[in-house]
Amino acid sequence: MNKPGLINAIAKKTGLKKKSATMMLDSFTEVVTTTLKKGDKVALIGFGTFGARKRSARNGVNPRTRKKIKIAAKTVPFFKPGKKLKDSVAKKR
């Protein structure tokens, strides 16, 4: 499912207009992004946790040229699913 599909599903499920569902989804992603930039986590009990991890600098290899390269340290986002979400997805349909 892509963003327009998600917006349509939210609008249908909640009875909101598509414009309101779009604003809601955009606001959610903006708040999560801002929170992660500050170094905090967003935990939704039963669904999962959004967070950011620091990845240290390391050596790598360019697969095309086979030359060694240095990969800089950076912070990357992650999502850890909650138990309720894991159990729900794992159940047979």
**Per-residue pLDDT at 93:** 63
Low-confidence ranges of the chain (pLDDT < 70): 92-93
Write down the pTM of the prediction.
0.80
DSSP annotation of 89: H
**Per-residue pLDDT at 62:** 94
**Per-residue pLDDT at 74:** 95
Q: First and final CA of the chain: distance in angstroms?
A: 18
